[in-house]
Amino acid sequence: MIRISSSLIWGMSGVVGWNQAFDDPIALPGRQPLRTLRDAALYVTVLPKAEYDAPEWQAAMEALLLVAERDGPTMFARMGMMRALHRHRPKDTPAPRPKAAKAYRIVR
């Protein structure tokens, strides 16, 4: 389990690292949008333990760490955050299978 303290996040400086901005901010209902990796990491660190321990949040935090520490594309961190934020939404039902074609014999 990945656990990051907020003091570690606030200790980073510079434009790279935790200050990288998302291409599109992550909108949250009733709250300011998450604009940087730092905003997203601080949001994750204040989650209740039961919520934080979910595999989706662990993957999101791991993506945040990789992007911040290795200067990766912020889209990976954004995708992880969006997946974790929407983990309770029902998955789309699969498309119905097409009917099997009838077999015909040609009689001559």
| pLDDT tens-digit readout, 25-45 | 999 989 999 999 999 999 999
Please report whether residue 74 resides in a domain.
Answer: yes
Between 49 and 13, the higher pLDDT residue? 49
Q: Is the dihedral of CA 63, 65, 70, 74 positive or negative?
A: positive
pTM of the model: 0.69
Please report whether residue 51 resides in a domain.
Answer: yes
Reduced to 3 states, what is the DSSP secondary structure of residue 72? coil
Please report whether residue 102 resides in a domain.
Answer: no
Least confident of 10-14, 62-66, 71-75, 86-90: 10-14
Please report whether residue 98 resides in a domain.
Answer: no
> Is the confidence at residue 13, as pLDDT, over 50?
no
Q: What is the pLDDT of residue 75?
A: 94
Count of domains in the chain? 1
> Is the confidence at residue 102, as pLDDT, over 80?
no
Is-contact 67 22, C-beta < 8 A? Answer: no
User: Using CA atoms, how far apart are residues 77 and 23, in angstroms rounded to an integer?
Assistant: 11
Q: Is 30 left (phi over 0), alpha (psi -120 to 50) or beta?
A: left
Task: Work out the number of other CB atoms within 10 angstroms of the CB of residue 83.
Answer: 14
- For the chain, the maximum distance between any two Cα atoms, rounded to a whole number of angstroms, is 84
Q: How confident is the model at residue 90 (pLDDT cuts 50, 70, 90)?
A: confident
Q: Average pLDDT of 50-64?
A: 94
Please report whether residue 106 resides in a domain.
Answer: no
Range of the domain at 70: 6-85
Please report whether residue 32 resides in a domain.
Answer: yes
Please report whether residue 81 resides in a domain.
Answer: yes
